[in-house]
Amino acid sequence: MSAELPICCATGAAVGGPCYRVLLWEQGALPPEAWAAWQQQRGELLAAMRDAGIRGARGRLAALESELRELAARLIASPLTTQPCRRLSYARAEALAQRLSDSPEVLGYRLSAGGAEIFLSLGGGEGVAALCERWCADGAEPAWQLPGLVESLSPQAALAAQAALSAESARKRAEAAAEQSAAAQTAPFHHVTVLRREAVELLQPAEGKVFVDATLGGGGHSELLLQAGASVWGIDQDPAARRAAARRLAPYGERLHIVAGNFRDIAALMRAEGVERVDGLLADIGISSPQVDCAERGFSFLQDGPLDMRMNPAAERSAATLVNELPEDELADILWQYGEEKASRALARRIVAARAQSPITTTGQLAALIAEVLPRKGRNHPATRSFQALRIAVNDELGALDALLRDGLSLLKSGGRMAIITFHSLEDRAVKRAFERLTRPEIDRPEWPAPRPNPEYAARLITRKPLTPTADELAANPRARSAKLRVIEKH
């Protein structure tokens, strides 16, 4: 995740009591000499005031406090990049932001390098110091310097601060969205196509033939189909993939049709496009390299990013939703069923305990929690299986594959072929079973006197055993290591 952007946020709370501006900073963020000198001067001033019956030095005390406030404000406003050693960890900032957003007294706040500026309106009850202490004590670690600096504000000043934060927040959001979309338009899309030649040759493309590539991705397979003179309908649920494929395959003009959607709806998607039957269907299941390599997409435990994992960024549930909201036993079932994770129960228990303290919002947080429960053994990171499981659950990958296997065949013309590339045993098992059901002329059961005709029999197996990448392909692209290609042909 990029930690370059300060988090700036305005809440909708209303002014309704004494108002304050509070500055908090991370322990160690303010130069210790400055903090010590300030405390010493303040101590001396207070002692002098006590000796003089608390008279005379109020102006100097106020000036001293405002000096420190300025120092802290400069620190808080400084960009994160310029002070790498004092960088406020994004996860910690998010945890504080969550607590501030949940506090009805908070008018608005800004989190930045090593600190926080918070505007409050207290409706009674708790005092400022107690409130700050509660926010900070709720955190997993006592990271904030307490007591923070507190300045009393008039309601007008508090309202003005809230309006300014609101405007700043809106401007930052608009800038970030513009930057993101500019980056997405131009970002290179590096995905090395797996079993490219094998899959396309078995689909027998030729001029005039029509194919559906149900997992368009960067368009590597589609490109070969188009080069053979065929037309392609390319489906992908990821807008970044559709954009990349559109750029790469632009030279093929009207022979390429890009369709936004999930291949679980393949029949409806093709019907809507006016396509009734095709000569071949290809699915190269799973995620693309750009999805896993981009920290912002939240698929990788190797890079810190938001805990997302949605192939379709508009989908409702992200990995953070599952991790923070599912009951413990459902979470454990996901880790067990989709990740074959033996420690699923212990991991789910640890996750539920951690999220009770503060929500788990980043891949780094989750990977660290998993590593606490499962010390690293061997080459694989202990989070590998859990991240795979969550990804499969977030995108309902097995449900979508089942729907594709059920509806794909009906799209094929007689003699049309379906080629599916999978990357883990759960997917391959589903494809193998579905293809067996469709290609077995008869079925037999121990209780039957003789085999009976199979009502689902509709195709023949083209690959008796799955095709796997050659040693040369594996040497060039280790990510292809678990790929398996299975192909059938409709009668």
Ligand X SMILES: C[S@@+](CC[C@H](N)C(=O)[O-])C[C@H]1O[C@@H](n2cnc3c(N)ncnc32)[C@H](O)[C@@H]1O
Residue choice 121, 145, 169, 193 for contact with ligand X (CB under 6 A)? 193
428 binds ligand X (CB under 6 A): no
15-54 binders of ligand X (CB under 6 A): none
- The smaller minimum CB distance to ligand X, of residues 97 and 214, is found at 214
- Min dist CB 357 to ligand X, Å, is 34
241-260 binders of ligand X (CB under 6 A): 241
219 binds ligand X (CB under 6 A): yes
Residue choice 21, 86, 92, 191 for contact with ligand X (CB under 6 A)? 191
**Which one of the spans 158-166, 177-185, 203-211, 212-220 is the region binding ligand X (CB under 6 A)?**
212-220
264 binds ligand X (CB under 6 A): yes
- The smaller minimum CB distance to ligand X, of residues 195 and 360, is found at 195
- Min dist CB 332 to ligand X, Å, is 25
- The smaller minimum CB distance to ligand X, of residues 71 and 287, is found at 287
Residue choice 238, 308, 341, 473 for contact with ligand X (CB under 6 A)? 238
CA distances from 214 to 235, 260, 286, 328, 333 (A): 5, 10, 11, 34, 29
262 binds ligand X (CB under 6 A): yes
Residue choice 118, 158, 195, 235 for contact with ligand X (CB under 6 A)? 235
3-state secondary structure the chain: CCCCCCEEEECCCCCCCCEEEEEEEECCCCCHHHHHHHHHHHHHHHHHHHHCCCCCCHHHHHHHHHHHHHHHHHHHHCCHHHCHHHCCCHHHHHHHHHHHHCCCCEEEEEEECCEEEEEEECCCCCCHHHHHHHHHHHCCCCCECCCCEEEEECHHHHHHHHHHHHHHHHHHHHHHHHHHHHHHHHCCCCCCCCCHHHHHHHHCCCCCCEEEECCCCCCHHHHHHHHCCCEEEEEECCHHHHHHHHHHCHHHHHHEEEEECCHHHHHHHHHHCCCCCEEEEEEECCCCHHHHHCHHHCCCCCCCCECCCCCCCCCCCCHHHHHHHCCHHHHHHHHHHHHCCCCHHHHHHHHHHHHHHCCCCEHHHHHHHHHHHCCCCCCCCCCHHHHHHHHHHHCCHHHHHHHHHHHHHHHEEEEEEEEEEECCHHHHHHHHHHHHHHHCCEECCCCCCCCEECCCCCEEECCCCCECCCHHHHHHCHHHCCCEEEEEEEC
408 binds ligand X (CB under 6 A): no
- The smaller minimum CB distance to ligand X, of residues 241 and 322, is found at 241
300-339 binders of ligand X (CB under 6 A): 311
Residue choice 280, 286, 408, 466 for contact with ligand X (CB under 6 A)? 286
- Min dist CB 30 to ligand X, Å, is 46
Residues 61-100: x where in contact with ligand X by CB under 6 A, - otherwise, as a string: ----------------------------------------
391 binds ligand X (CB under 6 A): no
- Min dist CB 400 to ligand X, Å, is 4
Question: At a CB cut-off of 8 Å and minimum separation 6, what does 100 contact?
Answer: 9, 11, 106, 109, 116, 118, 135
- Min dist CB 216 to ligand X, Å, is 6
- Min dist CB 419 to ligand X, Å, is 11
- The smaller minimum CB distance to ligand X, of residues 113 and 483, is found at 483
- Binding residues for ligand X, rule CB under 6 A, total 22
- The smaller minimum CB distance to ligand X, of residues 209 and 221, is found at 221
284 binds ligand X (CB under 6 A): yes
237 binds ligand X (CB under 6 A): yes
Provide the binding-site residues for ligand X, judged by CB under 6 A: 191, 193, 215, 217-221, 235-238, 241, 262-264, 284, 286-288, 311, 400
